Chain A
Amino acid sequence: MQEKISRRHFLQVTGSVSLATLVSGCGAFGVGGQGTSGGSTTITVWDIRTGNDQTIIKDQTAAFNSQHSGMRVVIEFFQNDPYKQKLQVAMGAKHPPDIFFGWGGGILKSYVDAGDVYDMTGALNTDSSWKNRYLPSVMTGVTFNGKIYGVPNSGAQPVVFLYNKDLFAKYHLTPPATWNDLLQTVGQLKQNGVLPIALGGGSKWPYLMYEEYLVDRVGGPSAFDAVVANQPNSWSNPAFIKANSMIQQLVSAGAFGTNFASVVYDTGQASALLYTGKAAMHLMGVWEFNAIQSNSPDFISSGKLGWFPFPTVEGGTGDPKNLAGNLCNFYSIASASKAPQTSLTYLKEAVLSDDEVSKFINNGEVPPVQGIESKLSGAPHGDWLLFIYHSILQAPHYQLSWDQALPAQPAQALLTNLDQLFLSQISPPQFSANMNQTLGS
């Protein structure tokens, strides 16, 4: 018969095993990252783009690798939302890629403040042809305290209204130019049993677009600038309260239907509402054009797709030409990178080079670089591309999406409060009070 193991024995064994693993684990925190190997430097790039964009980037990188025998660039692609957490963990563990993809704004600033991003100002200033390649309005997203921490790597993505021309023609409607026009259009569409505006509320971030534009139209950029500068009670600015009341007015007018909070953008359900003819309008970033192009090209080729800028608001102080959306995407270099010079060379030569710009334009995107008007007008869907390009050139202010402009915690709180606002669970003053609590954190 077996003797039962004594408690002392058991604890002895468990304790020594734990101690052993703890000690060996501490020693295993090696430094990863790339370095030189056999005379060639390898750098890693993290990106999230898919489809044609991914193919273009891979081709450019392969061409760069073959032109530079001493350098090797390896790109890894991830999915959008998991990528954000993955990057955060990699930065915290001081084990980041050499070059990483981002949206600029407050999130990038938090990495800059932690000393994790390489300062590119010097490199850009020494090569003015490189620095002047980019449109200044998008560089605001990566410039903090006068220093530049990234370069654009993709098309500019402002938010505009897309609409179904056939539905509008059927009910004798024209694209609304003012807020009152929009309310009237919504009313008429609703009377005829058409869902006026598609909204992917289940994903929450589509709510941001209405908030960003309305606050800007009502009170100009200064309202949100005060929030970014962490001024106390800046969320109580009357522009926010008015904009939020207008949002709730739009919701109760039935503009989004009753089920908008269940429609998820990321699985394509919101986009489908527009191109299957169920909804008449959709406020979304210009990438939506490419999404419709992939899912239902007939919708575009048969001329059903139209576009117009966000309406003006009567009595508002914001410039009607102001834009909101994603400035563009950026590549930044991690300060832990062992090969910053190689990274800089890659960014200068392979990212948004003339060749890559032409390919992006043919893919329906508008890279924020100077002097591409002729290329744009000659490209397929040139009218759409020129509309975007002129909007960016003429915009006195281009507001970065708030969930990227704000640091992580207020951004998360903003999304939750917008969710409750659209569902009429909280009032505009309550929204401002809740958001004020996130300031200064």
Chain B
Amino acid sequence: MSAIPKRRQQRANWTAVVWTAPALAFFAVFALVPLLVAIYLSFLRWDGISQASWVGLKNWATLFSDPVTSHAIVLSIEIMVLSWILETPFALLLGVFLAGPQRYRSLLGIFYFVPLLFSTVAIGITWVSLLDPNFGLIDILLKSIGASTLAQGWLGNPNLAFYVVTCVIAWQFIPFHTLLYLAGARQIPHELYEAARIDGAGVLRKFFSITLPQLRYTIVTSSVLILTGALTYFDLIWVMTQGGPGFATRILPVQMYISAFQNQQVGYGSMLAVLLAAAGIVLSLVLLRVTGFTKMASQLEGL
């Protein structure tokens, strides 16, 4: 216990509370209250326009017996894993590359950041046009370089659509994670690299022994963002395929939207929404615990 007098303690507490109150209010109104409302709605059977009726746990009981929802859960897990595999290596390498002091690197960085600036809907519509099998740029380019066997209907092929959409998502978010890694790489003290150079370490050795370990917390942050983001991402998939062809891209958020608004089953859709929110919270908590992020151990010991 410190030696601060009790009155100053109390005033310090209240000052902190007053400063955080606006942000808390915002969070309560836009995150907490809707979540509670969604939990309440998940116990109803409601089509959005007529009277609602209480059905208790009936919606929750059908969660795993509905094959479309089970498939949606599997697809969501796949998109999480695939997004991480696609985005992390590229973003990490790009971020470390751009962190170098040379002038041309920051110029290149400007081009790499462009996808970050566009609205998701614009990206979706543009890529749909680019991927059109008859008039789209991708297939025309493939045909012009003689690879016309590769040119096909990308978004209409049930086996390919999911991977194409995941690639577009990766294209959209790699710049963001590149920024994170760029900032992380810039923070690595130069003394470590100099010591390694004196000891005769090559580029690869420096990367694996210094850069990667020092980027540990950045990797954790970026991974949490990628995984929870991919779990709940809706906009781009909806604009590009609306969950089709068939059920090929109907991930859990798309299934939630279709249930609640197109099938007019607001109760069922709310249940899926609560499931998504709970999964996201659990996922981030587990990740932070497992990776030791919460311990906040210092990485600059000895410097």
- The answer to whether A and B assemble together is yes
Please measure, in the bound complex, the distance between the C-alpha atom of A201 and the C-alpha atom of B161, giving whole angstroms.
14
Q: Are A91 and B49 in contact (CB under 8 A)?
A: yes
Task: Report yes or no: B157 in contact with A267, Cβ–Cβ below 8 A.
Answer: no
A416, B12: Cβ atoms under 8 Å?
no
**Structural contact, A5 and B246, CB atoms closer than 8 A:** no
CB within 8 Å of B: which A249-272 residues: 258-264, 267, 269, 272
Binary CB contact string for chain B from 1 to 39 against chain A (1 if under 8 A, 0 otherwise): 010100001001100110011001100110011000000
**Assuming A17-B28, A272-B134, A419-B245, is B12 touching A259 (CB within 8 A)?**
no
* Cα-based distance from A261 to B156 in the complex (angstroms): 4
Chain B binding surface, main DSSP class: loop
Contact residues in B for A423 (Cβ distance below 8 Å): 158, 245-246
Taking the complex as formed, is A356 at the interface, i.e. its CB lies under 8 A from any CB of chain B?
A: no
Shortest beta-carbon distance from A3 to chain B in Å: 5
Query: In the complex the two chains form, what is the Cα distance from A261 to B242 in whole Å?
Result: 13
CB-based contact B157/A89 at 8 Å:
no
The interface on chain A, measured as residues whose beta carbon lies within 8 A of the other chain's beta carbons, has a size of 48
Task: Report the bound CA distance from A273 to B134 in whole Å.
Answer: 8
A184 interface contact, C-beta 8 A: no
Of A3, A111, A416, the residue contacting B9 (CB under 8 A) is A3
Per a CB cutoff under 8 Å, which of A18, A85, A259, A408 touches B156?
A259
- Are A88 and B156 neighbours in the complex by a CB distance under 8 Å? no
Tell whether A378 is near chain B: CB-to-CB under 8 Å: no
B33 touching A25, Cβ below 8 Å = yes
Q: Does B153 touch A at the CB level, under 8 Å? A: yes
CB distance from A18 to the nearest CB of B (A): 4
User: Please, how many angstroms separate the alpha-carbon atoms of A258 and B16 in the complex?
Assistant: 64
Q: Is the CB of B25 within 8 A of A21?
A: yes
A14 in the interface, Cβ–Cβ < 8 Å? Answer: yes
Cβ-defined contact, B245 with A111, below 8 A:
no
CB contact between A88 and one of B12, B28, B49, B244 (< 8 Å): that residue? B49
Per the 8 Å Cβ criterion, residues 102-137 of B in contact with A are 125, 128-129, 131-135
Contacts of B48 in A (CB 8 A): 88-89, 91-92
Q: A85: which B residues are within 8 A, CB to CB? A: 261
Of chain A, the residue at the smallest CB distance from B125 is A267
How far does the alpha carbon of A110 sit from the alpha carbon of B33 in the complex, in Å?
A: 30
- Minimum Cβ distance to chain A for residue B4 (Å): 7
Contact check, B245 vs A14: say whether CB atoms are below 8 A apart. no
For the complex, what is the distance from the CA of A17 to the CA of B27, rounded to whole Å? 10
Q: Are B153 and A412 closer than 8 Å at their CB atoms?
A: no
Say yes or no: B132 contacts A264, CB within 8 Å: yes
State A410–B6 Cα separation when bound (angstroms).
Answer: 67
Q: Which residues of the other chain, B, contact A420 by a CB distance below 8 angstroms?
A: 245-246
Contact A5 B4 (CB under 8 A): no
Residue of A nearest to B261 (CB): A85
B152 within 8 A of A: yes
Query: Are B128 and A110 in touch, CB under 8 angstroms?
Result: no
Partner of B13, one of A5, A89, A202, A408: A5
Are A22 and B33 neighbours in the complex by a CB distance under 8 Å?
yes
Is there contact, CB below 8 Å, between A419 and B157?
no
Shortest C-beta distance, B259 to chain A (Å), equals 9
Interchain CB contact under 8 A, B9 and A408: no
8 Å CB contact of A17 from B25, B47, B246: B25
With a cutoff of 8 Å between Cβ atoms, the chain B residues found around residue A17 in the complex are 21, 24-25, 28
> With contacts A9-B17, A269-B135, A419-B244 known, is A21 near B153, CB below 8 A?
no
CB-CB under 8 A from A110, the residues of chain B are 47, 49, 264
Tell yes or no: A47 within 8 A of B by CB.
no
B72 at the interface (CB under 8 A from A): no
Instruction: Chain B residues near A263: list those with CB within 8 A.
Output: 132-134, 153, 156
Considering the chains assembled together, what is the distance between the CA atoms of A111 and B49 in angstroms? 7
A82 nearest CB across to chain B (Å): 11
Contact assessment for B4 and A3 in the assembled complex, using a CB-CB cutoff below 8 Å: yes
- Closest Cβ–Cβ distance, residue B154 to chain A (whole Å): 6
Contact of B242 among A6, A91, A204 (CB under 8 A): A204
Answer yes or no: A113 CB below 8 A from chain B CBs.
yes
Q: Which of B17, B24, B246 has the most CB of A within 10 A?
A: B246
Q: Hey, which chain A residues are within 8 Å of B49, CB to CB?
A: 88, 91-92, 110-111, 114, 116
| A260 and B128 contact, CB distance less than 8 A | no
| Given A3-B12, A267-B129, A419-B246; A259-B153 close (CB under 8 Å) | yes
Question: Closest residue to B24 on the A side, CB-wise?
Answer: A17
Say yes or no: A262-B153 contact (C-beta < 8 A), given A91-B49, A204-B244, A416-B246: yes
Cα(A407)–Cα(B133), bound, Å:
33
Q: Is the CB of B158 within 8 A of A408?
A: no
A-chain residues with CB within 8 Å of residue B156 when the two chains form the complex: 201-202, 259-263
Whether the Cβ atoms of B132 and A262 lie closer than 8 Å is yes
Residue of B nearest to A88 (CB): B48
Enumerate chain B residues within 8 angstroms of A111, measured Cβ to Cβ: 49
CA distance A273 to B28 in the complex (A): 51
B264/A18 in contact, CB under 8 A: no
Query: A92-B48, A269-B132 in contact; A21/B263 too (CB < 8 A)?
Result: no
Residues of B within 8 A of A3 (CB): 2, 4, 9, 12-13
Contacts known (A13-B24, A201-B156); A88 close to B261, Cβ less than 8 A:
yes
Interface residues of A in 92-149 (CB under 8 A from B): 92, 110-111, 113-114, 116
Chosen A-B contacts, 12 in total, with CB atoms closer than 8 Å, are A3-B4, A5-B13, A17-B28, A22-B33, A85-B261, A91-B48, A91-B49, A260-B156, A262-B153, A262-B157, A269-B135, A408-B262
Which residues from chain B sit less than 8 Å from chain A, CB to CB?
Answer: 2, 4, 9, 12-13, 16-17, 20-21, 24-25, 28-29, 32-33, 47-50, 125, 128-129, 131-135, 152-158, 241-242, 244-247, 258, 261-265
Nearest 4 interchain pairs by C-beta: A261-B156, A262-B153, A262-B156, A259-B153
